[in-house]
Amino acid sequence: MNTDRTRINREIRSDELRVIGADGGNLGVISLKQALQAAQDAGLDLIEISPMATPPVAKIADYGKFEYERSKKEKAVKAKAKVSETKEVQIKVGTGDHDMQLKARKAAEWMAEGHRVRAELFLKGRYKGMDEQFLKTRLEKFLLLIPSAYKLAESVARSPKGFACVIERDLAEQAKRDKAAKQQ
């Protein structure tokens, strides 16, 4: 028998069950035989809801309706779940101030949507041989241009293409900023 499937009626293995009646009332801890008889008298199924509890919990209900309600709940949870991606912003040593401001605003938009942002300082050719402290400072200068509150998820470090860091929004810091702006 498949273990992820809900056990009903004769599939239930426990000798004693805590049973919830068809009306939602607690019938207490009773034997499997009594629970099956109560379900049969009601013309419904005995559904094992919580098999890991001691004693296991079962409910007297219509199995088809029970499965329908459960699938509806799962779909609702799936619809509310938002997938978070890691977006990437790439700058170069020679990127101008205006372009950096545009990219910083785009990074702030992505963070507002709930995404993480990977900021990467792309190095090619002779830029790879430049002073590491200068290159890190260049990337940090870009991070200072981002208008929304953020925190570093991964600090500035060398990457295959140059230097990179990952940032994500900091809701607590953003709330402080908003509160300070309101007071002024």
What's the confidence (pLDDT) of residue 2? 46
CB 134 within 8 A of CB 121: no
Q: Give me the phi and psi of 50, to 5 degrees please.
A: -130, 90
Residue 4 has pLDDT above 70, yes or no: no
User: Residue 78: is it exposed, middle or buried by C-beta count within 10 angstroms (0-12/13-18/19+)?
Assistant: exposed
Range(s) of the chain covered by CATH 3.10.20.80: 9-77
In the chain, which segments carry CATH 3.30.110.10?
Answer: 86-183
Instruction: State the average pLDDT for the chain.
Output: 87
pTM of the model: 0.53
Residue 90 predicted with pLDDT over 90: yes
Tokens at residue 161, please? 């293409």
Mean pLDDT within 81-108 = 89
pLDDT recorded at residue 153: 87
pLDDT at 59: 92
Q: Domain 9-77 class?
A: alpha beta
CA distances from 90 to 27, 139, 142, 143, 162 (A): 64, 10, 10, 12, 10
Instruction: Name the nearest CA neighbour of 169 among 97, 102, 84, 99.
Output: 84
86-183 homologous superfamily: Translation initiation factor 3 (IF-3), C-terminal domain (3.30.110.10)
